[in-house]
Amino acid sequence: MATKTVAAARVGRKADNYSRFLASIDPIIIALVQETFRIDRERYLKSEREVLRARIESKLVKLGKDAFDIRTSLILTATTAPAAKPLIDFRAVYDLHFHGSGITEATVKRFVTSELRIVIWPYFRELVNNATARMHVPPIILPVSSRGEGFGGE
């Protein structure tokens, strides 16, 4: 029984450390560093229904005692069917710089695979919506959440 209590205490400390880490982080820079947008405009305008797929790929670039950097790639494709040639292929790369306390490789990696999508998704939504509107095609309005069918993270 003592082993379970010690293990539970360790898990509780890890959760508390992560909660403190989350409460301390402050996004300092969210910079769009690359964007590519390919569209088969004629096919897109003729299509009656598009299948959207989005993916977020993130990696830790730099880790310091009081700060860390992440590079996040966001990929969106639109097709007429799951295996069809893309009507739209949109890619954006963001560099993010955060300050905080309790920064460890483990806490940052956990953040990258969980809460980071909540930080970056609104930027991606706005970018896709504005880009499609400027292209004089019906704008793509992504869902508020990056969860759901076709919208996966790591």
pLDDT for 68: 98
* Nearest-angstrom CA–CA distance, 87 and 28: 35
For 63-103, write each residue's pLDDT tens digit. 999 999 999 999 999 998 878 899 999 999 999 999 999 99
CATH of the domain at 39: 3.10.420.10
* CA dihedral of residues 126, 127, 131, 132 (deg, nearest 10): -50
**Which parts of the chain register pLDDT below 50?**
6, 8-9, 153-154
Parent domain of 60: 2-152
Domains contained in the chain, number:
1
